[in-house]
A = this chain, B = another copy of it.
Amino acid sequence: MKQQYVYFFGGGMAQGRADMNNLLGGKGANIAEMVNLGLPVPPGFTLTTELCNEFNKRNREYPKSLEKEVEVNLRRLEELAKKKFGDPVDPLLVSVRSGARASMPGMMETVLNVGLTEGTIPGMIAKTQNPRFVYDAYRRLIAMYSDVVMEKAEGIEPEDGDSIRNQLEHMLEAVKKKNGYVNDTELSENDLKELCAAYKVKVKEVLGAEFPDDPMKQLWGAIGAVFLSWNGKRAVAYRRIENLPDDWGTAVNVQAMVFGNTGDKSATGVAFTRNPATGDNNLYGEWLINAQGEDVVAGIRTPYAINKLAKTDANKDLPTLEEAMPKLYQDLMDIREKLETHYRDMQDLEFTIEDNVLYMLQTRVGKRNGPAAIKMAVDMAKSGLIDKDTALKRVKPEQVEELLHPMVDPEAEKLAEKLGKGLPAGPGGAIGKIVLTADKAMELGEQGKRVILVREETSPEDVHGMKPAQAILTSKGGMTSHAALVARGWGKCCIVGCSAMEIDTKAKTVTFGDKVLKEGDWITMNGTKGVIYEGQLDLVEVDPLSHKEYRTLMTWADKVRTLKIRTNADTPEDAAAAVAFGAQGIGLTRTEHMFFGDRIWAMREMIMAEDIEGRKAALRKLLPMQRQDFTGIFKAMGNRPVTIRLLDPPLHEFLPHDDEAQKEMASRLNTTERRIAAKAESLTEFNPMLGHRGCRLGTIYPEITAMQARAIFEAAADCWAEDIKVKPEVMVPLVGTVGEFENQKAIIDQQAAKVMDEKGITFKYMVGTMIEIPRACLIADQIAQQAEFFSFGTNDLTQLTFGYSRDDAGTFLPHYLESKILAHDPFQSVDQTGVGELMKIGTERGRTTRPKLKIGICGEHGGDPKSVWFCNSIGLDYVSCSPYRVPIARLAAAHAALANGHSVE
């Protein structure tokens, strides 16, 4: 059997189907489907993606059989259209459009009005009684064809270097200027007729070839140009960015032209079967009378609303399609019903009305925002259109995020002046006045003023100013810098690493390129995208719990998922917020943040102590504070498990490094500046990330571990006394050898026994470890003999597995991502090949010695959907993420469970 390269559609029947997407492209397959559904579609035929690949492989040669196949299909098209291609009396015109598997908007070429020639123009004029329309169509054909087919596809180089497209455009502008026209619509029939003639002369002059006057030559030229555009510069670049394969190829759709611009009984429009911004179950869209499709999109004329519900401020006084063409509107409503029932999803439609006849030009699954996606999915599941599993799959985890933070109004964003771009470290939108110090941020923030803290980078000493700020913006640091970590924990808008921004703290200015802003100037930040704007843009506020369908979807997600979701929370407030978002426990409480503020003085006293007795005295001051911290968190979490990590950062982080602050410290601790400077110096490390921190501190200073363990157990005992049955899980950080863990566990167990004895209360607790050192994964079987749980600290594990410092990787990581040396940022999504392999090894080996070992993840990756999926696939028990990512993780976990064959019902 000869291979079929051409698939016909029209007359109520098509050779293709929607599921032939790969062969016919998205557009072609869906047109075929619409035809089979009996919808009014202009007839035509699709040349397959296989043909595209053949053509490009054979160096622009078609298979021999093709000419005949096109001929046969063209004849069939003529029969249905009741017009003949190239007929001087009533000529058929066709559009030649690309259509790949996935939408690649604007990346490939289109040629319209193919078939207009000196020979067919008179017939067209006679038939339409509209010579201006015909010459306008001819002008567009010449311009498009000479550009797309002659210059680009056939590779004819223009004479004087400027493209034929620009040169023709200049001619058009010259005519308009000469006549004092502003819009193209003012061009008269005669202007256009003369322009067409002049265009053809110019084409000959510039490209050295005639614009073809043969309809078939035009057709073949257009088909070839579309196929070639698959390998055009823009298309290739787009595929690189979107990770699309080169061997897909594009299909070509040749279709009878219909015109929405033949007069007042004609129109064109785009519509969504449901509102893509809210999810409401109403037809939504825009249309224009007497216009072409591109006019709706181009924004030259204000499009009309399709019905009352779709009206906006801009078009509230303009006629709707429902009012202007009620019969055709009803037809469209029927089609909407038919398509949604058939596709079981919201559709994005293109239609044209030519002389009171409705034609469907395209249907495809419509894009939608997060809240709309959720509402549609739940509505459709409730109405029985889809099942609950499908509803869950319809919503991307990232879309849930849109419900959790106020967003910059997308419309306002389009018009706003972009100041700069950084890494999107904390999602949502924020508006505020620039402030350059944490103190000022706190001062103004407490007065209820909206401020954005702008710094080179932040440190734990800035936290008091970060909390009241609307957002945080830094010029240095990466996705896991201090600012990013803290902001994400709070669900606060944050952009980091905006390297083009320069801060002058003396002059109190912030410079973006040429633009100089002062402290106090307003800026707006889109933390989801990482973009900074000048001035105040509108924010769209959201509240997930008021979104009824969100609540429903989440119950379904919880029903199907097997992975537990915990949260990373360091305060009772964060813990309570996370519980409200559905957290089932705490996977990581960092204790170091508890030693700043006033408590830093006891901490510094401990660091400066000459001996163990001095350290113990300082630690005794910290004990009641720590106990209070833990009691608060335990109470917020009730009976849920709470994992508390022992002190992790190197001690020098608690000492001041500038003279002024060292002076203050000296006077406060009654010692000399010299001693403090010497201590700070002695604690300085070449590579602090690889230095004296984590359990290496607790091993050298066992009294710190003892104090923290005692505080945890005293708090637990107090809770149990109040009948709050807390289950503390004490986590030893940075374990790389069994000896370290044994050493720390002995201290912790001893404190537990002492506290239980003192308080006369028994309670359960666990001692486990953070797995964040590559070696720990390799010896996980040994560690698991002692440790009752593991929690993967994927931030540090990623740093060590790659040998990247997250604070320094900015020098090469962006380049690695851009040049695809890295497929994605391993600090955002778990590197499954490397880091993930170590996690797998750690999980497998850990469970060889302790089969029921509880294993979770508490790195930043715990809130990343792809990483959640991966964690589920390697058999972890839970993921832990910042409170504001808990819903995202819940949905991602549900997706993973669905993929594993689980079902909501």
Q: Is B687 within 8 A of A812, CB to CB?
A: no
Do B775 and A834 have beta carbons less than 8 Å apart? yes
Contact partners of A809 in chain B: CB under 8 A: 691
A contact residues, total (Cβ < 8 Å)? 49
Q: Which residues from chain B contact A815 at a C-beta distance below 8 Å?
A: 699-700
Q: Which of A291-299, A505-513, A731-739 contacts B (4 or more CB under 8 A)?
A: A731-739
Q: Is A740 part of the binding interface, using a Cβ–Cβ cutoff of 8 Å? A: yes
Cross-chain contact B692 with A690 (CB below 8 angstroms) = no
Interface presence of A838 (CB below 8 A): yes
The contact string, 1 if C-beta is below 8 Å from chain B, for chain A 765-807, is 0000000111100110010000000000000100111111101
**C-beta contact mask, A651-693 vs B, less than 8 Å → 1, else 0?**
0000000000000000000000000000000000111111110
Complex contact B689–A807 (CB within 8 A): no
- Cβ of A696 < 8 Å from any Cβ of B? yes
Q: Which residues of B sit under 8 angstroms from A819, Cβ to Cβ?
A: 699, 739, 743
A696 adjacent to B812 (CB under 8 Å): yes
B691:A799 contact, CB within 8 angstroms: no
A687→B739 contact, CB < 8 A: no
> Shortest Cβ distance from A327 into chain B, in angstroms?
60
The smallest C-beta distance from A848 to any residue of chain B, in angstroms, reads 14
Residue of B687, B807, B812 touching A805 (CB-CB under 8 A): B687
Q: Is A811 an interface residue (CB 8 A)?
A: yes
Give A833 Cβ to nearest chain B Cβ, in Å.
Answer: 6
A772 to chain B: closest residue by CB: B803
Partner of A799 from the list B690, B772, B808 (CB cut-off 8 Å) is: B690
Cβ contact within 8 Å between A803 and B834: no
Query: Would B689 and A690 count as touching, CB distance under 8 A?
Result: yes
| Contact partners of A834 in chain B: CB under 8 A | 736, 774-775, 778-779
Given contacts A739-B821, A800-B800, A816-B699, contact A805 B775 (CB under 8 A): no
Q: Are B739 and A690 in contact (CB under 8 A)?
A: no
Interface residues of A in 329-360 (CB under 8 A from B): none
Contacts of A838 in B (CB 8 A): 774, 778
* Also in contact, A812 and B699, with CB within 8 A (given A773-B803, A778-B833): yes
**B-side contacts of A696, CB under 8 Å:** 811-812
Contacts of A820 on B, CB cut-off 8 Å?
Answer: 739
Cα–Cα, bound, A779→B809 (Å):
21
Closest residue of B by beta carbon distance from A815: B700
Alpha-carbon separation in the docked complex, A303 to B511 (Å): 87
Closest to A810 in B: B692
Residue of B nearest to A689 (CB): B687
How far apart sit A690 and B796, CA to CA, in the bound complex (Å)?
Answer: 12
Cβ of A837 under 8 Å from chain B: yes
A822 at the interface (CB under 8 A from B): yes
Which residue from B699, B734, B779, B833 sits with its C-beta under 8 Å from A803? Answer: B734
Contact present for B690 and A812 (CB under 8 Å): no
Q: Per-residue CB proximity of A267-299 to B under 8 Å, as 1/0?
A: 000000000000000000000000000000000
Cα–Cα, bound, A649→B834 (Å): 24
Q: Is the CB of A835 closer than 8 A to any CB of chain B?
A: yes
Q: A689-B690, A821-B737, A822-B737 are in contact. Are A802 and B778 (CB under 8 A)?
A: no
Closest-CB distance, A855 to chain B (whole angstroms): 19
Interface centre among A696, A772, A835 (most CB of B within 10 A): A696
Given that A686-B808, A690-B689, A692-B812 are contacting pairs, would A833 and B773 also be in contact in the complex, using a CB cutoff of 8 Å? no
| Also in contact, A739 and B686, with CB within 8 A (given A803-B734, A812-B700, A838-B774) | no
Q: How far is the CA of A815 from the CA of B803 in the complex (A)?
A: 26
Of A700, A774, A805, most B-chain CB atoms within 10 Å: A774
Pick from B736, B800, B811, B837: contact of A778, CB below 8 A: B837
Q: Determine if B805 and A803 form an interchain contact, defined as CB atoms under 8 angstroms apart.
A: no
Chain B residues in 8 Å Cβ range of A802: 736, 773, 775
Q: In whole angstroms, what is the CA distance A811 to B796 when docked? A: 20
Q: For residue A805, which residues in chain B have a CB less than 8 angstroms away from its CB?
A: 685-687, 689-691
Chain B residue nearest to A690 in the complex (CB): B805
- B residues in contact with A689, CB < 8 Å: 686-687, 690, 803, 805
Measured between beta carbons, the chain B residues less than 8 angstroms from A690 are: 687, 689-690, 799, 803-805, 808
Partner of A774, one of B737, B772, B801, B808: B801
Known: A803-B800, A816-B699, A821-B699. A833 touches B779 (CB 8 A): yes
Can you name the residue of chain B whose Cβ is closest to the Cβ of A838? B778
CA distance A835 to B816 in the complex (A): 27
Task: State A804–B807 Cα separation when bound (angstroms).
Answer: 17
Q: What B residues does A686 contact at CB under 8 A? A: 688-689, 805, 807-808
Find out whether the CB atom of A800 lies under 8 angstroms from the CB atom of B774.
yes
Q: How far is the CB of A14 from chain B (nearest CB, A)?
A: 44
Return the chain B residue nearest A836 by Cβ.
B778
The docked-state distance in angstroms from the alpha carbon of A772 to that of B739 is 25
A804 to chain B: which residues have CB within 8 Å? 690, 736
A687 to B478, CA, bound (A): 14
A811 CA / B837 CA spacing, docked (Å): 31
B residues within 8 A CB of A835?
775
* B821 A685 Cβ-Cβ under 8 A: no
Q: Which residues of B contact A692 (CB under 8 A)?
A: 808, 811-812
A692 and B813 alpha carbons, distance in the complex (Å): 10
CA distance in complex: A467, B807 (Å) = 37
Return chain B residues, CB-CB under 8 Å to A811.
691-692, 696, 700
Find chain B residues with CB under 8 A from A799 CB: 690
Residues of chain A from 735 to 774 with CB closer than 8 A to chain B in the complex:
736-737, 739-740, 743, 772-774
Chain B residues whose CB sits within 8 angstroms of the CB of A774 once the complex forms? 774, 800-801, 803, 834, 838
**Judging by beta carbons under 8 Å apart, are B775 and A687 in contact?**
no
CA distance A689 to B804 in the complex (A): 8
| B-contact bits for A242-275, CB 8 A (1 contact / 0 none) | 0000000000000000000000000000000000
- What CA separation (Å) do A166 and B210 show in the bound complex? 121
- Given the complex of chains A and B, what is the CA–CA distance between A690 and B799 in angstroms? 8
Closest to A692 in B: B811
* Contact partners of A700 in chain B: CB under 8 A: 811-812, 815
Q: How many angstroms between the C-alpha atoms of A800 and B796 in the bound complex?
A: 11
Instruction: Tell which of B736, B807, B833 touches A687, judged by Cβ atoms closer than 8 Å.
Output: B807
Q: What does the 1/0 interface line of A37-61 toward B look like (CB < 8 Å)?
A: 0000000000000000000000000
Q: How far is the CB of A895 from chain B (nearest CB, A)?
A: 27
Evaluate whether A808 and B685 lie within 8 angstroms (CB atoms) in the complex, with A775-B802, A838-B778 already known.
yes
Residues of B within 8 A of A772 (CB): 803
Which residues of B sit under 8 angstroms from A833, Cβ to Cβ? Answer: 775, 778-779, 782
Shortest Cβ gap from A814 to chain B (Å)? 10
For the complex, what is the distance from the CA of A775 to the CA of B774, rounded to whole Å? 9
Binding site for B on A (CB under 8 A): 685-692, 696, 699-700, 734, 736-737, 739-740, 743, 772-775, 778-779, 782, 796, 799-805, 807-809, 811-812, 815-816, 819-822, 831, 833-835, 837-838
5 interchain pairs (CB within 8 A)?
Answer: A699-B819, A739-B822, A743-B819, A775-B802, A782-B833
13 additional contacts, CB 8 Å, given A686-B688, A689-B805, A739-B822? A686-B807, A687-B687, A690-B803, A690-B808, A691-B811, A692-B808, A736-B802, A739-B820, A743-B821, A773-B803, A775-B803, A775-B833, A796-B803
Give the 9 A-B CB pairs with smallest separation, nearest first: A739-B821, A690-B805, A775-B834, A687-B805, A691-B808, A692-B811, A686-B807, A685-B808, A687-B687
